[in-house]
Amino acid sequence: MRSTLDQTIGGIVLDRSPIEARPQSARALCSFSGGKDSCLALWRAQQLGFDVRTLLVMFEEAGERSRSHALPAHLLSRQASALGLELMIRRASWADYEQVFTAALCELKEREYASAVFGDIDLQAHRDWEERVCAAAGLAPVLPLWHRDRRELAHEVIASGFRCVVVCVDSKFLPDEFCGREYDESFLADLPAEVDACGENGEFHTFVYDGPNFSKPVEFEICGLEPYVAPAEYGAGRYLFASLR
């Protein structure tokens, strides 16, 4: 039988249904993207008794959009307000990302935070990185979704009442018409067989505008679609982003 609480180096990884598990020290932050996985991880951590108070979001150097999901600050601010949480934004290049992220964790450690919640599912390299930065700051990493079945998680997001829109697609995996769609059962049914239901391999990203821990829906509109080609050093992949306001 698998333990409901899997102790890791420097922290805690929560297993499949650890409803009885409780943190030793509850004050926590959530590494937040605005997407479905970080929102579900936040919700699960809150249900487990973690006192999550801050959403930590990493932005590009210019400060106009968040990393990966390319969300503007005002929409993340609306999310944080609907969730009743503080929003902490830090700008970084990929070169100094770890340094800036770790400094933010250290700042929260000084404010008596004990844990950091992450929404990763099963990518070991991501978990290794999270354990490293948390160890440097003296925090415990908490991964409520770790080793859950990806398709089960996709259905759980929808069944739990999270409402999401797809804001980015990798053109290598999905045609343009998937960008801007609602993340719902119809979307999952239409995904090609080789595309992960959670987009864990970067096939797509989402923006969550309502959910069980939101006090109200986040108002937004899609005002266009923007193609983007990554620099050669990052593979020169083509992506399509939904421009939100």
- 142-156 pLDDT per residue, tens: 999 999 999 999 999
Residue 49 scores a pLDDT above 90: yes
Q: What is the pLDDT of residues 69-79, one digit of tens each?
A: 999 999 999 99
Helix extents (H) in the chain: 36-47, 73-83, 97-110, 124-137, 150-159, 185-190
In this prediction, residue 207 carries a pLDDT of 99
Residue 172 scores a pLDDT above 70: yes
Residue 3 scores a pLDDT above 70: no
The pLDDT-based confidence of 235 (bands split at 50, 70, 90) is confident
Ranges assigned E (strand) in the chain? 5-8, 11-14, 27-31, 51-59, 86-91, 115-117, 140-142, 163-170, 204-210, 222-229, 238-244
Q: Which two tokens stand for residue 58?
A: 């990493």
Q: What is the DSSP letter of 56?
A: E
Residue 23 scores a pLDDT above 70: no
* Range with the largest mean pLDDT of 59-68, 202-211, 223-232: 202-211
Q: Which domains does the chain have, with CATH numbers?
A: 5-142 (3.40.50.620), 160-244 (3.90.1490.10)
Residue 6 scores a pLDDT above 60: no
Mean pLDDT of the chain: 90
Other CB atoms within 10 Å distance of the CB of residue 2: 7
Residue 9 scores a pLDDT above 70: no
Q: What is the mean pLDDT of residues 91-114?
A: 97
In this prediction, residue 83 carries a pLDDT of 99
Residue 21 scores a pLDDT above 60: no
Residue 20 scores a pLDDT above 70: no
